[in-house]
Amino acid sequence: MRRLLFAFLSGGLFGAGLFLSGMTDTTKVQGWLDVFGDWDPTLAFVMGGAIIPMAIAWRIAAGRRTSLLGSPLPGRSKAHVDAPLVVGSVIFGAGWAMAGLCPGPAIASLSYGGWRGLLFLVAMTGGMVAAPPLKAWLAAA
């Protein structure tokens, strides 16, 4: 029960942060990505506001074996850059630039995004469902 409560509070805090920072406003996100046009640098503060606390949290978590709620923490993955990571990153970035939404803000915008937000969420879910079989098919080819 404690774990569900913390998940609910964390999700609510994350959603509120997305809303207050403007990450659910597609025009603001596209303005951030329009580096050679009408660039809006304000989301740099959002990025810094996310990166700095996470760097501290990773440093603290590196010395722990369990979370504050007692669950085991997963080991650190080996970071390596390969073709699937690069291709996936490019596809993600292109979709983010075109739509102005990524998964978290897309879900947060369901309450006010209208049919366009719902259409994006359906397309995103379709891509997530199609990706594993496509990856397996490409690996076999």
Q: What is the pLDDT along the chain (141 residues), one digit of tens a residue?
A: 888 999 899 888 888 888 888 888 888 888 888 888 888 888 888 888 889 988 998 888 888 888 888 888 887 777 789 888 898 889 888 888 888 888 888 887 777 767 888 888 898 899 889 989 988 898 887
CA–CA dist 137, 115 (Å, integer) = 33
The domain in which residue 27 lies consists of 2-140
Q: Domain count of the chain?
A: 1
Q: What pTM, to 2 d.p., does this model score? A: 0.66
- b/e sequence 59-88, b meaning 16+ C-beta within 10 Å: eeeeeeeeeeeeeeeeeeeeeeeeeeeeee
- The identity of residue 27, as a single letter, is T
What pLDDT, on the 0 to 100 scale, is given for residue 113?
67
**Token output for 21:** 């920072």
Degrees, nearest 5: CA angle 23-8-50:
35
What pLDDT, on the 0 to 100 scale, is given for residue 100?
83
Q: For residue 42, which phi and psi values (nearest 5 degrees)?
A: -65, -25
